[in-house]
Amino acid sequence: MSNTQFEISTLGTPSIKSPLQLSTVRGDNIFNFIKEGDKLVHDLSLENYQQCLHKAEDPACLEKAGPRQYIYFEPKKTTAAIVTCGGLCPGINNVIRGVVMALHHFYGVKRILGVPYGYEGLNPEMGHGFHELTPEKVKDIHQFGGTMLGSSRGGQDVGVMVDTLVANDIQMLFAIGGDGTLKGANALGEEIKKRGLDIAIVGIPKTIDNDIDVIDKSFGFETSFDIASPIIRDAHNEAAGAYNGISIVKLMGRDSGFIAASAALAMPVVNFVLVPELQFELCGKTGFLEVLGNRLQEKHHAVIVVAEGAGQHLFTKEDVVKDASGNVQHEDIGVFLKNEIKGYFKDKFPVTIKYIDPSYIVRSAAANSSDSVFCSGLAYMAVHGAMAGKTQFVIGRVNNKFVYLPIASVTQKRKKIDLESEFWFSVLQSTGQPFSM
């Protein structure tokens, strides 16, 4: 990627001195303001460095996130809004709380609105209205899963939503959501730009699947496999408690198998991990069912963790059905595997199969300690960027540093497991399953 692909849009030149009492010099033991020229190299590999030297060009760099010495918006005259869209994910309430606290206590923004039920809340015809958000109202919400604002899938008319922002004198919108939400936020930004309005659009990437491109991880991901770990442990107990016992645990992962793979590493009692990236076959001498049979004959139990989007190539689909967010609705691979395994071993030897689907329990949980810390950082850095007049950007961590990225740079494709990566090799070493089936 080139530097222009990571260039952040701004509403104008920041000219208002920040109310934050920070420093501009090193050595005084006070955190320093971030300068606009502070950049971080995107690709830290030696190969990339050598390629840049060969081409005599600078490496692609990312804009460092953080508070600026001068801001664009006058805090006392600023109204901010927060919207949460798409499926639930651990940590949404933490992010909402962090944004409200940062706006109110760091910058003195007093009018903060919560948009109910996703982008529906920006369509007056839906009649949802707004919620006034204050530190007192959000101080305890981090203890609970879900979203205090409610959510929805599907888009609304972009022009209508911008009209609503204008009508309510909203200067910045924080959109917490995944791929579809971020694309919607970018569309809002384009319409705002077309109209020449001073409204900042900020994306905070939310997806339990960890499939947002470029960034290291999305919030809620660590909690997801943390919650899944004891479920897998208990599934192992069920499998080991029966002769030729099999436990199948289905976890979320529509297009990427990061949760399933990470959960298997966190609870190393898993024997097979099936993910969307792996085009495994059921039958044949090297097929999954044959390999499973070999495992049962040797150990007399097996634990299978499968991502919801795995094995979709095994289904015959006449029509592609999509949900309100534009995501392809997958067939139930968990039930399919249960039936296929049952049928395959029917005339071979008896098996006991337990099928467990904890997906909605996992995604509705409150954030764990690690994600809670991460969510606060994302919220604070998002607020700093918005107050500086940056727009159509997302906040994320790349190479373990908080950076600002153009929304368009993270929505071009979904992040997937590289089957040649050290990460997937670790999964194979932990489970003992073959490279291909």
Query: Could you tell me which CATH number the domain at 222-364 has?
Result: 3.40.50.460
Q: How many angstroms separate the CA atoms of 217 and 396, rounded?
A: 8
3-class DSSP assignment, residue 370: helix
Q: Which of 105, 189, 91, 192 is nearest to 146 (CA)?
A: 91
Question: How confident is the chain (437 residues) per 10-residue block, as mean pLDDT?
Answer: 77 97 94 93 85 85 96 97 96 98 97 97 94 97 96 92 97 96 96 97 95 94 95 97 97 95 97 96 91 96 97 77 63 94 93 95 94 97 98 97 96 95 97 91
Instruction: Say what the pLDDT of residue 326 is.
Output: 59
Q: What are phi and psi of 425, to 5 degrees?
A: -60, -35
Asked if 151 contacts 85 with a C-beta cutoff of 8 angstroms, the reply is yes
- CATH class name, domain 3-218+367-410: alpha beta
Q: What ranges in 73-211 are assigned the alpha helix state H?
A: 92-101, 135-138, 158-167, 179-195
Asked if 389 contacts 10 with a C-beta cutoff of 8 angstroms, the reply is yes
Instruction: Say what the pLDDT of residue 1 is.
Output: 46
Q: How many angstroms separate the CA atoms of 267 and 251, rounded?
A: 14
**β-strands 111-115, 79-84 pairing:** parallel
Block residue for tokens 């791929």: 179
Catalytic residues: 209
3-class DSSP assignment, residue 305: strand
Instruction: Say what the pLDDT of residue 327 is.
Output: 63
> Which residues, including other chains, have CB under 8 Å from residue 396's CB and lie 6 or more apart?
205, 212, 214, 215, 216, 218, 378, 402, 403, 405, 410
Instruction: Say what the pLDDT of residue 165 is.
Output: 98
Axis crossing angle, helix 369-387 with helix 221-240, rounded to the nearest 10:
160
Q: How many angstroms separate the CA atoms of 414 and 360, rounded?
A: 22
**31 token code pair:** 């955190």
Asked if 88 contacts 150 with a C-beta cutoff of 8 angstroms, the reply is no
For the chain, give every domain's residue range. 3-218+367-410, 222-364
Q: How many angstroms separate the CA atoms of 129 and 132, rounded?
A: 10
Asked if 227 contacts 365 with a C-beta cutoff of 8 angstroms, the reply is yes
